[in-house]
Structure 1
Amino acid sequence: MTVAVIGAGKIGELVLSGLLRAGWSASELLVTARRAERGRELTERYGVRAVDNLTAVTEADVLAVAVKPQDATALLDEIGAKVPATKLIVSLCAGLPTSFFAARLPEGAPVIRVMTNTPALVDQAMTAISAGPHATGEHLAVAEEMFKPLGATVRVPESQQDAVTALSGSGPAYFYLLVEAMIDAGILLGLPRQVAHQLIVQTAIGSAVMLRDSGEHPVKLREAVTSPAGTTISAVRELENHGVRAALLSALEAARDRAREIAEQAGPGTARQGT
């Protein structure tokens, strides 16, 4: 099976490099890029062949579309009519529903919608996969085969993809912001930056592993750290006083709403997939 990554920006390169680390041969992968120099750069870095979009459509079994959402219309105007109805389309375009592609592809073309995230760089991505109307279980299995090497995968109804985008697609940024703030707090408390960084990063890793492997609810794990009249409960009180929980809820709602706006701005065929 040959996969063409169409639009190898940041996310496209994540997928490309992950597939190579997972054992895919460079001969099984194609890449397209808007700028010729970008294509040459990817060829030199990964040994894959850079081609134009129409060649990718002709030669690849799977088209992994990783262009920016605002560029998807122009791409499909170029290639849509030339894509065989049997060819699998895997969309990594944030906010764009499978109906957007269906409106611009031959009738019956199978489309899978995917939202992954940047920890794919270290094979720790969280990837959510949804089937469009003409995609089968076999198509979903192909998408899972592509993204499992990058981390964990989960199948969700497409109606949940905007929430996935807000929660895990954008999620790494929230954690980086929290770590950044905690490092600054450590410096304020008198620690050298390097020590504060090491303390917080390892604490974050350890906490994440406990959440994943213990099976315990996060409330129970938090309570295990929180002694009566201790330091932790004093800190938690301040977090609650400053509305951290409410701020997170509002932030994720804003990200979800922005994903919906992207779809609405993209044009015809972007009717909301549920609520």
Structure 2
Amino acid sequence: MASTLYFIGGGNMVTAIIEAVRDKSESYPVDALYVQEISQARIEDLAQRFGVLAADPSSTPDADIVIIGIRPQDDLKTVLESVSQRFSPERTTVISIVAGYTIEQLEEHLGHDFRLARIIPNTLTTTGYGYSGVALNDQASENDIDAFLRTFGKPLYVEERLIDVITGFYPPNLVYHFIDAYVDAGVLAGLPRDIAKAIALDTLIGGTEFLKQKDVLPQVLLNINNSPGGVGITQAYTLNSTGFAASVQSAVLAAVNRTTALGKEAR
């Protein structure tokens, strides 16, 4: 059976999800796709690109899934109370993609009758990659949402305490920073930028695939590549002496802490 989806918010993440859902229409058919968004220009763009239907805070379509995709600093209390008044717990499953906002906080204003899931989608939604942590309340099950979630990534059903950790750990920004530095290193050493970029991307993708094929920890391959007095071990020494590993770990922990803080700052 085809689903009816209702999005509250029409920002970048919601747009990416809608695009992914439309791309997977054969495996996940959708009867109607509504978006409630304050920006008329954004609604018009989504309608033109994906055929969404405009909605407002008084709309009451018979939705299978309501996706709350606004910012933590927006008026979540009012939005959740509105959802509880307009939709039926017997019919509708609610999914929150609001960073840092816990199931307990959601249920405080939504009520405890709805099937509820909390997920922060990975930004790699349209690439076929990207794990997203998913936490469920007592009323929800994987069967309620799994088909929908798999249109835009790979759901990992976990305890809620791990959601913020996964959210702070997975953003590809860390990879972009690394590639940017790696390309600059090639340029510093004398390579033209286009050649440095091509080699960096190919090495990153190839190295990742090789690691997956071998199914071992990275240290195993490092030990193989780091021959005595060789290039690899010289590179490892330099990275260690400049605090490379500690910088990566500090960046991840800072992102995790910021994710948690967003929930505490929510209205």
Q: Tell me the TM-score normalized by structure 1.
A: 0.88
* C-alpha displacement of 1:257: 1.3
The equivalences for 1:149-164 within 5 A come to 149-164=151-166
**Could you tell me which residue of structure 1 aligns to residue 23 of structure 2?**
21
- Aligned 8 A contact 1:26 1:48 in 2: no
CA–CA distance in structure 1, aligned partners of residues 145 and 217 of structure 2: 30
Paired residue type of 1:85: P
CA–CA distance in structure 1, aligned partners of residues 227 and 248 of structure 2: 25
Q: What's the secondary structure of 1:191's corresponding residue?
A: coil
* Aligned residues between the structures: 261
* Runs of 5+ unmatched residues, structure 2: none
Q: What's the secondary structure of 2:31's corresponding residue?
A: helix
Q: What's the secondary structure of 1:113's corresponding residue?
A: strand
- Aligned 8 A contact 1:85 1:105 in 2: no
- Aligned 8 A contact 1:76 1:104 in 2: yes
1:105 partnered with 2:110: yes
> For residues 154-181 of structure 1, what are the alpha-carbon distances to aligned partners after superposition, in whole Å with 9 as ceiling and x for unaligned?
111101111011111x2x0000000001
CA–CA distance in structure 1, aligned partners of residues 103 and 95 of structure 2: 9
**Could you tell me which residue of structure 2 aligns to residue 208 of structure 1?**
208
Q: Deviation above 4 Å: which 4+ runs of structure 1?
A: none
> For residues 218-272 of structure 1, what are the alpha-carbon distances to aligned partners after superposition, in whole Å with 9 as ceiling and x for unaligned?
21122233222111111111111111111222222211111121111125xxxxx
CA–CA distance in structure 1, aligned partners of residues 255 and 107 of structure 2: 25
Mean Cα deviation higher: 174-183 or 111-120 = 111-120
> For residues 106-155 of structure 1, what are the alpha-carbon distances to aligned partners after superposition, in whole Å with 9 as ceiling and x for unaligned?
332121011221111222122221112322x2xx2332211223332211
* C-alpha displacement of 1:25: 4.3
- Aligned 8 A contact 1:29 1:49 in 2: yes
Paired residue type of 1:61: D
* C-alpha displacement of 1:35: 0.7
* C-alpha displacement of 1:8: 1.7
- Aligned 8 A contact 1:18 1:123 in 2: no
Mean Cα deviation higher: 211-220 or 194-203 = 211-220
CA–CA distance in structure 2, aligned partners of residues 175 and 206 of structure 1: 14
CA–CA distance in structure 1, aligned partners of residues 221 and 32 of structure 2: 45
* C-alpha displacement of 1:198: 0.7
**Could you tell me which residue of structure 1 aligns to residue 64 of structure 2?**
61
Q: What's the secondary structure of 1:103's corresponding residue?
A: helix
> For residues 166-221 of structure 1, what are the alpha-carbon distances to aligned partners after superposition, in whole Å with 9 as ceiling and x for unaligned?
111x2x00000000011111110111111111111111111222333431112112
Paired residue type of 1:107: H
Paired residue type of 1:193: R
Paired residue type of 2:150: K
1:165 partnered with 2:159: no
CA–CA distance in structure 1, aligned partners of residues 152 and 213 of structure 2: 19
Equivalent in 137, 143, 146 of residue 145 of structure 2: 143
Mean Cα deviation higher: 200-209 or 182-191 = 200-209
- Aligned 8 A contact 1:2 1:62 in 2: yes
The equivalences for 1:126-137 within 5 A come to 126-135=131-140, 137=141
Paired residue type of 2:135: S
**Could you tell me which residue of structure 2 aligns to residue 238 of structure 1?**
238
**Could you tell me which residue of structure 2 aligns to residue 38 of structure 1?**
42
* C-alpha displacement of 1:26: 5.5
Paired residue type of 1:150: F
> For residues 26-80 of structure 1, what are the alpha-carbon distances to aligned partners after superposition, in whole Å with 9 as ceiling and x for unaligned?
633222222111111001011222222442x533110111111112334224434
Give me the CA root mean square deviation: 1.8
- Aligned 8 A contact 1:225 1:232 in 2: yes
Distance 1:178 1:62, change over 3 A: same
Distance 1:187 1:74, change over 3 A: farther
Q: What's the secondary structure of 1:150's corresponding residue?
A: coil
Q: Tell me the TM-score normalized by structure 2.
A: 0.91
